[in-house]
Amino acid sequence: MPELSTTVTSERPASLWELFVACTCLAMQGFGGVIAVAQREFCVRRHWLTPAQFLEMLNTAQVLPGANVCNLTGMVGDRFFGWRGAFVALAGMLVLPMAGMLLVAWAIALVPAQSSAQDLIQGALRGITIVAAGQIMGTVLRLAAPLKQHPLKGPTCVALVALAFAMSAFLRWPLIWVLLGLGSASCLLTYATLRRQPPHGGTQGQGS
């Protein structure tokens, strides 16, 4: 079987409208990091993608220019409805949040600086940021579950995750260097491992 053997999802959006609504819903719930919500909506709630498919798409979305979650959403739309789907999914992701944000920016501009209302707003924003940070990390850990089936062994994977984390969080390397340096090393290692794997019965490859 060339397809993924883990839970294959059969569900898909019934219409462009459903896709639009789903993307709007997930965008409106995403504070600080929409990836967290996207994983839950696409994989857990709607079953449009398996966690492994989600992670695969996220890899492509991550190395290309653009916000990873926008790239991913465009790809999800494209998967189900082609170009139109990509456009609708992106529109769903951007239109309402953008309208809401511009409205808030406009309203905040009306609130005088140095007022108690302004303090309240700043405090709430700070509280939201603290929670959003935790949400992103929690989701990523949840997202990492398919790593268990990774061609590289567990300790190697954990080491790569830790290295990428340290390079970005502590050494503050520009993302491009982490992707080019560690990313290509990791890909080469995986390539070598996949090559060395004994093919399953005859000439058939291992399905991914």
Partner 1 sequence: MSAAQAGDWATCLELFQHFLSMSLLSIGGAITLVSEMHRILVDEAKVLSDLAFTNAIALAQAAPGPNVLFVALIGWYSARFGGALSSMAGIMLPSSTLTLLVSRWVGTHRHWVSVRAFQAGMTPVTVGLLLASGWLLAPPVQDIAPFAISMLVALLVWRTRVSLMALIGLGGLLGALGWV
127-146 residues near partner 1, rule: CB under 8 A: 127-144, 146
Site for partner 1 in 69-88 (CB under 8 A): 69-71, 74-75, 78-79, 83, 86
Print the binding letters for residues 16-45 with partner 1: x by CB under 8 A, - otherwise: -----------xxxxxxxxxxx--x---x-
CB 111 within 8 A of CB 118: yes
Nearest CB to partner 1, comparing residues 22 and 58: 58
CB 85 within 8 A of CB 16: yes
151 lies in the site for partner 1, by CB under 8 A: yes
Nearest CB to partner 1, comparing residues 18 and 28: 28
CB 74 within 8 A of CB 90: yes
Angle at 76 between CA 40 and CA 84, to 5 degrees: 140
Smallest distance from partner 1 to CB 19, Å: 15
Smallest distance from partner 1 to CB 39, Å: 10
Copy the structure tokens of residue 12.
Answer: 């898909």
46 lies in the site for partner 1, by CB under 8 A: no
User: Left (φ > 0), alpha (ψ -120 to 50) or beta: where does 158 sit?
Assistant: alpha
Cα–Cα dist 76/85, whole Å: 8
